[in-house]
Structure 1
Amino acid sequence: MSDHILTRRRTLALTGSTITAGLAGCVANGADQFTNNGNTDGTETSATQDDSDGDHDHDIEHTLGHPEEHIEVTMESDDDAHHFVPHAVHVEPGGTVTWILDSGVHDTVAYHPGNAAVLPSATDRRIPDGTDPWASDVYDTEGETFEITFEEEGIYDYTCTITGHGHRGGGHHGGHQSHESTGMVGRVIVGDPDLDSDEQPAMRPPSSELPEVARHELEQFNDQTRDALNEH
């Protein structure tokens, strides 16, 4: 990623059922608690990322099982493909994930019924019970960021709602597929959660209402999560 000046930042802290966040415009309970935390400094993280030439490696087990304090995830587009890179990350309780726009137009939206207005497939809840969802702004300028501090141990799945040429909303827009339907989904693992599906909704089989490619990606995440966390 280039040293493009970071122009906007949104910051959230997830602590059980409470969310505090960067600036108004994010869809989340407690959005009136948003505060402006200024710009990031663009520093690198220790998270391993995939190649940026469009040949993205989905074998991300090296990032799982070894939680970090802070990980950066880039939001990328190349040709007709869209990606969160790395696709799945593992942070410590109290750890932070920063999403950075590398290319294209993107957002990051948690799978939760509370986000159904911008993501119809969010009726399939895939974040821990008792936690509120996040939904970032739509980012279209390289270097823009959105940041969450995850206090609650668990597994959090999310996607990008963008369709067509920067339009927001699930499904199709003007004949264009959504980024979700092309497999632009991501996962954040926090701490060492119980992998029982009764405890972690994200470990359940994805709903048939989700796009096929997104379901496939989420099923892969579940396999990789079990493999990585059962080894520790």
Structure 2
Amino acid sequence: MTTYTTTRRRTLAATGSALATGFAGCLESNDPQPTDAGDDSSGDHDHDTDHELGHPEARIDVTMESDDDTHHFAPHVVHIEEGRTVTWTLESGAHDTVAYHPDNAELLPSASERRLPDGAQPWASELLRTEGETFERTFEEVGVYDYVCTVVEHGHGPERGQGPSGYHPTHESTGMVGRVIVGWPDLDSDAQPALRTPAAELPEAVRDELEGFNERTRTALEHDDDH
């Protein structure tokens, strides 16, 4: 069964934020750097994270961010235990999280390339506009799941997909895609469509990101014998 909800989080008081920032800085200065398998090294932007692929977690938070003309999910790729939850939190800009699946083609034509396991149900969040707003989904089936942000921004403000005003480049065109690895999936691309070579119809930035995701996924999961 698929579970997903949208909520909002309260913004921390300034004092609390300052303390949290200072504490995080102490942790970063003492903790070891993440391994290559956990680094976000694909694309032109880099987001350090202590989340290491090959070590699935019980719950994971992904932020949705805008920075100048770039938009991204961070971490780009996460590894979660079967039956557990991923929460997307809007940190800046306006974004959504939409699975690559034919059911979502109305939001984004390129999303019709299914990059989910066979039989897995797709998801599509609402357009998140308020900082701290969240969307979460519980992943019940082992597999590899790719998703994208379909938002466009123009003079009338952000909207989902191509919108009623005609064609505008979406955040997908900047490479705003992400991946959720659930459990220990079979790495055969016949069983996991997300591991296939990205379709030529996808934007170049997306193809580059997804190819990087595939390399990192195989590297992390093929060489871990502890599960």
Q: Which range, TM-score by smaller chain?
A: 0.7 to 0.9
Cα deviations by residue, 1:173-203 (Å, 9 ceiling, x for unpaired)? 7774210010000000000000100000000
Q: How many angstroms does 1:56 deviate by?
A: 3.8
**1:67 partnered with 2:59:** no
1:22-171 map, 5 Å:
22=5, 56-57=45-46, 63-164=52-153, 165-170=157-162
Report the CA distance between 1:151 and its aligned residue: 1.1
Aligned length: 195
Is the CA contact (8 Å cut-off) linking 1:61 and 1:228 kept in structure 2? no
Tell me which moved more, 144-153 or 159-168.
159-168
Q: 1:182 to 1:76 in 2, by over 3 A?
A: same
In structure 2, the CA distance between the partners of 1:42 and 1:89, relative to structure 1 (3 Å rule), is farther
Q: How big is the shift at 1:144?
A: 0.4
| CA shift in 2, pair 1:180/1:75, >3 Å | same
Q: What is the identity, as a one-letter code, of the residue corresponding to 1:161? A: T
Q: Cα 1:193–1:84, aligned 2, differ >3 Å: closer, same or farther?
A: same
Q: Unaligned stretches of 5+ in structure 2?
A: 13-19, 21-33
Does the CA-based 8 Å contact 1:63-1:88 persist in structure 2? Answer: no
Determine the structure 2 residue equivalent to 1:29.
none
SS of corresponding position for 1:223: helix
Q: Give the conservation status (yes or no) of the 8 Å contact 2:3–2:137.
A: no
Q: Cα distance, 1:103 vs. partner?
A: 0.3
Q: Does the 8 A contact of 1:112 with 1:126 survive in 2?
A: yes
Q: Indicate the residue corresponding to 1:27 in structure 2.
A: none
Query: Comparing both structures, which one devotes a greater share of its residues to helix?
Result: 2
Of 188, 191, 196, 2:180 maps to 188
**Distance in 2 separating the partners of 1:197 and 1:167:** 33
RMSD of aligned C-alpha atoms?
2.9
What's the TM-score once normalised by structure 1's chain length? 0.76
Give the residue type in structure 2 aligned to 1:84.
F
Structure whose CA Rg is larger: 2
Identity level (%)? 63
CA distance in 2: counterparts of 1:177 and 1:103, whole angstroms: 19
Structure 1 position 50, deviation (Å): 8.2
Distance 2:8 2:152 in 1: 28
Question: Who is 2:31 aligned against?
Answer: none
Other structure's SS at 2:130 match: coil
